[in-house]
Structure 1
Amino acid sequence: MTAPVRKGRLLTDASRLRRLTVHGWFLVMIAALTVLTAVCAVTGAVMIDRTSSLSDQLTTRISPAAIEASQMQKALIDQETGVRGFLLTGREEFLQPYAEGLAAERRSRAQVAADIADRPGLLRELNTISAKAAAWRSEYAEPMTAERRDGGTVPAAAVEAGKRAFDEIRVLLERQNSRLAQLRVTSRDELSQAERVRNWAFLAMLVLFPLAMVGMAVLLRRAIGRPLDQLRIASREIAAGDFERVIPARGPADIREVAEDVDLMRVRIVQALGDSHRQQVQLREQAADLDAQAVELRRSNAELEQFAYVASHDLQEPLRKVATFCQLLEKRYGEVLDERGKQYIRFAVDGATRMQVLINDLLRFSRVGRVYDDREPVDLGESLEKVIDDLSAPIEESGASFERPDKLPTIVGDPTMLRLLWQNLISNAIKFHDPARAPLIRIGCEPDEDGWKFSVSDNGIGVEPEFADKIFVIFQRLHSREQYSGTGIGLAMCKKIVENHGGRIWLDTGYTGGARLCFTLPASTVPARSGTEHEGSSS
């Protein structure tokens, strides 16, 4: 494998490790611990099984086979001894060891064959011994014993041949016993070796398992604990005011994400602090500008108050003189003046009077929200009653009647301005009535999402929808002075009063049969007496 390939694989492995989260690291550690435990368990099981197998083989097969082989050898020797004794003496009791040895040989041979069944070499030798023993019995032992039993004499050559045949069996038996003994020694050595390997394996597991646990703990500490400590230390330094401290993004993926998010929060806090500092500087500058403007406004208000004083006294004084002297002129020299001269005098008096009214209306308009700005609970029902009393003369003259709720709410506002609001709206309803019928003025009140909604409706001449905005502009008139008197300030003043109290006013363009002006006023914290649309007429 070339160096670039190895380097690429290392980078790939490192990238995979960097993508691991804390949960992933714990899963990896648990998997590694599980694999290690499984390997140790399998190794221990294999070692135990190996030693158990060798021990069982030695104790239940090899050692019994060696013992039974010795018993088989003894049984064959007993057979040969019995035959030899019978041939020498001819006595039948010497054949008893032969018969017993034959039975013992068969038992031992079967047991040895069962014990060495998995060892073909030893089994072949056992079969060879059994075959030669059977041949010795059939060719020598049984014929010679039969001949001796019949009273004959067994030739010495036959006896010698039988002896040589049995010596071959004896050699095979010695070799088999030697091989079984060697197998027994080898099995013992293998068992001892397996036990040593098993003991070393268990010792290695006892040492390796704690070392693996320590290694995993160190790895978790380096992979998870240390990045968390760095994140905690950096966060505390930032909390202490070191906002330039960069939070390191190390460790598992989720810890790096947390560190990056916290560092992003730090950057945004730094930006917010910078913006806040700049805003504070800007606010201080604006406060200084506002202070300067407040000083200028106070100076301007003082000048405006001075102008109001001049307008209410100094400007009106010449107008009063003009009107007074014109009236005196008409009274003293009226006899010598013709009708046109008298008309000119009336024009002068009327102009001076209208000029006084206009100046007074302008003064009231300029004082809305500036001079008249007291805030106190105002019972709108009582305020409306006072206005109706003040307008009793034009009401009686026009024959106007009212429909209004029994109760109107209490709001926080300026009592003078709210009274002026009712006065202008009702005065307009009386002024612009239909000559063919007596004025009918309806006062409405209902709760609104922003407070209270009021309406003043009449059955007068009405207002065209295209003039819905124009009627609230100062000095804007829809009729000539010859038709309807006035200065064109009334509804503009109503709009200023309503807006100064946080409401709005508009013309209901969908209303027919007259005009309906609606306005809203915010509800106050003072418990208001809720007004319902209860109608009751009063003249």
Structure 2
Amino acid sequence: MHSLIKRQLKKHLSDELQNNKEIANFLDAVDKSYENYDEKLSMMHRASTISSKELYEANQRLKEEADQQKNILNSLMEAIHSLTENLNEEQLFDHEKLNEFNAAYLAENISNLASKVSDMTAEKDKLLVSLEVQNQSLNNYAQMVSHDLKSPIRNINALMNWIMEDEKEKFSTNSKENCTLISQNLEKMDKLITGILNHATLGQTEELKVSFDLTETLKEIENTIFVPEHIVFEYADNLPNMYFERDRLEQLFMNLFTNAVTATEHVEKGIISIGYEHDEVYWKFSVTDNGKGIAKKHQDGLFQMFKKLETDNNATGIGLAIVKKIVVLYEGEVWLTSTENEGTTFYITLKKNS
């Protein structure tokens, strides 16, 4: 018992009662009831503190879970809205329910959209199979037509040359010129058919990668095509050793070189420069000439099939389309800068690990 309480009790007791044994026992009992009071009070305080802390932590966890559920709901809502827009579906959600976590309602709409996506995927797979079959048929058709057309064209050209040799003394000047034009047009038709076939079959066969020195390869291409004496090729010192599909790269540069030679035929001293820029992801090349350049109005669509310069009557309009297709095949880009009467630069990037 607290000493102050004990003293207050004794003040109101007579001497006789204070010395009474029963009163003494009563006061001892009261005193014992106060034993460990402070300790118990401290324990209750600690227990109350611990309970409050646990409640606070539980509330924090509940708040975090509620926020997480809200974020998941918002993400699902955004995904469904995106799907409805891409599928051209009508609005599936009631705006009044956007802030409510209605799991059944959400699940129903997700199920509906998933079913539509599944149907679209199945339809897409069917279309891809059909497209593959059609492409194979077109490629077979292109090869067959090319063979059937090229054979008589070459025969006609050979016959024209024989006639010219046997009957040239009998032909007038105009007839000789007309025969020459016929031969030129037959040669152009042969090139056109070859170009169409190359474009149609490009990328249809797998080609093994090999290691090669690019400078040596480009010089071999230079020796393969006709290059007038007044045109020179200049190769950058840092052209790399490559591990790549060599035949396709040769096809790409063959077309660019041929274009550059044609562009510089009229220049007193034509210069064609091949540059290289190091990059970790892409092979980056440039082919620059100091030729006639390309007018701005002719640059749009220059990489499309049969697109050619109005002034170039001998071109087939397929070379740059093949360049574009090869570049796309290797996840790269091709573009140009050009100024009339100053020259043109073609820029090419090809992904190294495509």
Q: RMSD between aligned alpha carbons?
A: 4.4
Cα contact 1:308–1:363 (8 A) shared by 2: yes
Alpha-carbon offset, residue 424 of structure 1: 1.2
**Residue among 198, 208, 216 paired with 1:364:** 198
Partner of residue 254, structure 1: 60
Q: 1:351 and 1:366 mapped to 2: Cα distance?
A: 22
Q: 1:260 and 1:205 mapped to 2: Cα distance?
A: 48
Q: 1:419 and 1:515 mapped to 2: Cα distance?
A: 20
Alpha-carbon offset, residue 208 of structure 1: 10
Partner of residue 85, structure 2: none
For the pair 1:389 / 2:195, whether they are aligned, the reply is no
Shift of the 408–255 alpha-carbon distance from structure 1 to 2, 3 Å rule, reads closer
**Residue among 482, 488, 492 paired with 2:317:** 488
**Residue among 409, 417, 420 paired with 2:240:** 409
For the pair 1:431 / 2:237, whether they are aligned, the reply is no
Cα contact 2:139–2:200 (8 A) shared by 1: no
Q: 1:277 and 1:377 mapped to 2: Cα distance?
A: 50
Q: Deviations over 1:168-194 (max 9, x none)?
A: xxxxxxxxxxxxxx97446x3699868
Q: Which amino acid aligns with 1:324?
A: A
Q: 2:107 and 2:249 mapped to 1: Cα distance?
A: 47
Partner of residue 306, structure 1: 140
Q: Which runs of 5 or more residues in structure 1 are unaligned?
A: 1-42, 55-181, 229-250, 526-539
Q: 3-state SS of the aligned residue for 1:427?
A: helix
Alpha-carbon offset, residue 215 of structure 1: 11
Shift of the 356–263 alpha-carbon distance from structure 1 to 2, 3 Å rule, reads closer
Q: Deviations over 1:346-379 (max 9, x none)?
A: 33322222111111111112222224x4251453
Q: Which runs of 5 or more residues in structure 2 are unaligned?
A: 77-102
Number of aligned residues: 325
Q: 1:280 and 1:515 mapped to 2: Cα distance?
A: 52
Partner of residue 30, structure 2: 200
Cα contact 2:236–2:274 (8 A) shared by 1: yes
Q: 3-state SS of the aligned residue for 1:448?
A: coil
**Residue among 155, 158, 163 paired with 1:321:** 155
Partner of residue 331, structure 2: 502
Partner of residue 143, structure 1: none
Cα contact 2:215–2:235 (8 A) shared by 1: no
**Residue among 376, 389, 395 paired with 2:209:** 376
Q: Write the mapping of 1:34-183 to structure 2, written as runs, cut at 5 A.
A: 44-48=2-6, 50=8
For the pair 1:443 / 2:274, whether they are aligned, the reply is yes
Cα contact 1:421–1:497 (8 A) shared by 2: yes
Partner of residue 522, structure 1: 351
Q: 2:58 and 2:20 mapped to 1: Cα distance?
A: 50
Q: 2:350 and 2:243 mapped to 1: Cα distance?
A: 9
Q: Which amino acid aligns with 1:408?
A: L
Q: Which amino acid aligns with 1:200?
A: V
Cα contact 2:267–2:291 (8 A) shared by 1: no
For the pair 1:455 / 2:261, whether they are aligned, the reply is no
Q: Which amino acid aligns with 2:5?
A: M
Q: 3-state SS of the aligned residue for 1:471?
A: coil
Cα contact 1:412–1:524 (8 A) shared by 2: no
Q: Deviations over 1:429-488 (max 9, x none)?
A: 211115342222211111236423211112222223454334323222224345xx2212
Q: Deviations over 1:186-214 (max 9, x none)?
A: 6x369986884464154155589769968
Cα contact 1:404–1:443 (8 A) shared by 2: yes
Alpha-carbon offset, residue 255 of structure 1: 4.8
Q: 1:49 and 1:411 mapped to 2: Cα distance?
A: 106
Relative to total residues, which structure has the larger strand share, 1 or 2? 2
Q: 2:294 and 2:65 mapped to 1: Cα distance?
A: 69
Partner of residue 340, structure 1: 174
Shift of the 450–326 alpha-carbon distance from structure 1 to 2, 3 Å rule, reads same
Partner of residue 87, structure 1: none
Q: 1:515 and 1:291 mapped to 2: Cα distance?
A: 43
Partner of residue 233, structure 1: none
Cα contact 2:230–2:268 (8 A) shared by 1: no
Q: 1:440 and 1:501 mapped to 2: Cα distance?
A: 28
Q: 2:27 and 2:67 mapped to 1: Cα distance?
A: 55
Q: 2:192 and 2:64 mapped to 1: Cα distance?
A: 73
Q: 1:196 and 1:418 mapped to 2: Cα distance?
A: 112
Q: 2:240 and 2:112 mapped to 1: Cα distance?
A: 47
Partner of residue 289, structure 1: 123
Q: 1:224 and 1:279 mapped to 2: Cα distance?
A: 45
Deviates most, 512-521 or 332-341: 332-341
Cα contact 1:398–1:430 (8 A) shared by 2: no
Shift of the 265–515 alpha-carbon distance from structure 1 to 2, 3 Å rule, reads closer
TM-score (norm 1): 0.50
Q: Deviations over 1:85-136 (max 9, x none)?
A: xxxxxxxxxxxxxxxxxxxxxxxxxxxxxxxxxxxxxxxxxxxxxxxxxxxx
The percentage of counterpart residues that share the same residue type is 23
Alpha-carbon offset, residue 340 of structure 1: 2.7
Alpha-carbon offset, residue 501 of structure 1: 1.0
Q: 3-state SS of the aligned residue for 1:515?
A: strand
Cα contact 1:429–1:439 (8 A) shared by 2: no
